[in-house]
């Protein structure tokens, strides 16, 4: 059986489109987070990773025994936040914040960033707004 070159090329393109579409839809999954719940944590900013595809905020939080635990919060993309007034310096290492997250389903220390209140009372949201 002889393969037709245009047919082979079309099959390769279709396969690539299928794989890319699957990858893109998986990227925006919220399946790791409990979207029906919110949890509020207070601590000091350890680090902010202003990186694509999403920023990460690392927060040192005292547990019930007074020991520090580091929580990771996934936020929106830097580009999305920058268009809404955030900069890579909006949150600084050492800032004391209270953050609201959608917690991890598996119980790990972290979640999806929803909003935070800074020490001066300013509230920042996942959508980038502040008041």
pLDDT digits (tens, 9 = 90+) for 58-85: 999 999 999 999 999 999 999 999 988 8
Residue 111, domain member (yes or no): yes
pTM for this entry: 0.74
pLDDT value, residue 5: 59
Each residue's pLDDT tens digit, 8-57: 555 555 554 455 444 444 456 778 999 999 999 999 999 999 999 999 99
pLDDT value, residue 98: 94
Residues 86 and 17: their CA atoms lie apart, in Å, by: 34
pLDDT value, residue 122: 85
Residue 108, domain member (yes or no): yes
Nearest 5°: the CA angle 58, 123, 38 is 60
Indicate the burial class of 44 (C-beta count within 10 angstroms; 0-12, 13-18, 19 or more): middle
CATH of the domain at 75: 2.40.50.140
Residue 31, domain member (yes or no): no
Residue 55, domain member (yes or no): yes
Residue 28, domain member (yes or no): no
Residue 2, domain member (yes or no): no
Both tokens of residue 129? 């707004």
The count of structural domains within the chain is 1
Residue 32, domain member (yes or no): no
Residue 92, domain member (yes or no): yes
Provide the domain limits for residue 108. Answer: 39-125
């Amino acid at each position: 059986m002889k393969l037709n070159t245009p047919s082979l090329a079309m099959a390769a393109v279709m396969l690539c489109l299928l794989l890319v579409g699957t990858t893109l839809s998986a990227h925006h999954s919220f399946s790791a987070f409990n979207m029906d719940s919110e949890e509020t944590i207070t601590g000091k900013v350890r680090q902010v990773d202003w990186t694509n595809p999403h920023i990460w905020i690392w927060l040192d939080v005292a547990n019930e025994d007074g020991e520090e635990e580091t929580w990771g919060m996934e936020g929106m993309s830097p580009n999305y936040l920058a268009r809404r007034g955030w900069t890579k310096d909006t949150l600084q290492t050492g800032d004391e914040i209270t953050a609201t997250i959608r917690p991890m389903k598996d119980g790990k220390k972290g979640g999806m960033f929803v909003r935070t209140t800074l020490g001066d009372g300013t509230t920042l949201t996942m959508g980038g707004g502040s008041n």
